[in-house]
Structure 1
Amino acid sequence: MPSQSVPARSRFSLYLDLIRWDRPAGWLVCLWPTLSALWIAADGFPGWHLLVVFVLGTFLMRSAGCCVNDVADRDFDKHVKRTAQRPVTTGAVSVKEALSLGAVLALVSFGLVLTTNAAAIAWSVPAVLVAIAYPFTKRIISMPQAVLGIAFNFGIVIAFAAVQGHVPAVAWWMWLGNLFWVLAYDTEYAMVDRDDDLRIGIKTSAITLGRWDVPGIVVFYLLFLSIWALALDGYALGAMFYIATALALAQVLWHFTLIRTRSREGCFKAFRVNHWLGATVFAGIAGSYLLRWLGLTG
């Protein structure tokens, strides 16, 4: 088997490729809304323990998800230009290896959650189940990006549970808003592979929306930012949050210029830079609490 003949260092390199080590955009778009939820739940800085737990946990679970995704899609990936060289579909990494690595990463992540509280632990179970189920929904659901959004959004739910011991209404409003952000950036991602996906029979939001893909993405972005602005209004975050929201809106306009011609390069770039939009919103939230702590705002 290929896995037995590849030197150890090359094997490690393949594992890094499997978890998308050199492509951090995928886990950063999960991280920023999770950190935003942590700050809101804690009414400011949540402490180093929870910060480390959620940063590492987000990275590990996204990496584990990549392992499961590549196993589930191994017969499809070889027919798609962008994914044809992934290690599982080429046979460089076996299915057993990929699933074993994914299981180890998920277990380490669960170990981190065990250091929090019962509510966070309880919510982590459905989070894992949805993450495992997502890759298979591309065969049966017309907009599997919504399932991905549910999987990614568990970070928000678990963050509130870890801080407050329960999940309040504001968490679910943030959950809903972030679902639209996932729909926006993952539809951009799906636009890159639309021709290949149509040929092999994969279902995606880009295919389902058809010629309404670009306006649909813009609407998704606007719903995300509007829902978060309304949901967090009562937290008196101040001018910095609204300035950050305005800067995020400017990025939405930039995204429109990137995807309006539907070129592969433009759509892929739009997806890859999405984490800056999430980082901007988080900076507005964290910065608002910092100013309050410094006594510079009411």
Structure 2
Amino acid sequence: MRNVPGRAVPVNGRHVYVEESGQGQDWVVFEAGGGCGRTCWDPVLPLLASEARLVAYDRAGRALSSHSTQRLSIDDLAADLIAMTEAVVPGEFVLVAHSMGGLVARRAAERLAPRLRGLLLADVLPETSPVYDTWDQTTKKIDRMLAVTQTLTRFTPLARLFSGNMRRLFPADAYRTMLAEDFTPAGTSQTREEIQAVAAAVPQFRAQPPRLPACPTIVLSAGRAERGRERQHAANREHQRRYAETLPDGRHEDVDSGHFVQAEQPRLVADRIRQLLAASRKTDGQRC
């Protein structure tokens, strides 16, 4: 999987690194979660390679994409996603997003609406969730932890230690690339930037939520909670379900998985993408 050729695509005065794979008439675009790049979709892409054209990329500042001297907001990242698809994807497509990437995808979907055939949100947390009520404090705690990690990831053995959960979840070649690109001082620095972007975006999303997508949308919730976070996890799942119920054509589904649904349940994710592609064909071009 890691021998996929890529290219730098200009977007908004910078560039993002894009990998294209697969074949067919359908197109699927993937938006990674916070702290991750294109490699986090490696478990899913081979399952769809014979059925669709697949586009995975690194957000600006991450991995092989260019770095910006200014802090990029969720709106900036959404604008990059829009520009990237305009440059790479010739027509309509299904958009798939994980975790923080869901904020980027939902904001981008407002302008992408005429081109979106469907939307798959994998364990994406709506801004209504009570976990965001104290997100400023949470962000400070996470940032302090990552500041230490940023220094220590200069040493490969420690980087392996900090990323042990990813090593268990992802294919070996994908993990090696993550270790070289994401679990580094530069990669950790960008993760800190993305967490700050989320903290700034939540009040904006609460004050003025993105327009609801009208196209077929599937919201997946990770069914397994981390130990000690069962109550918070249940509240998150409830708000994911409520968000799906507000959509004109939305569906919520609990998945037997931890947060990285695409790694633990790649076949299910691939199947739900197929369902969105099939649904958009049946509705003869209904769009978001």
TM-score by length of 1: 0.29
Higher helix proportion (structure 1 or 2): 1
Q: Which protein has the larger Cα radius of gyration, Structure 1 or Structure 2?
A: 1
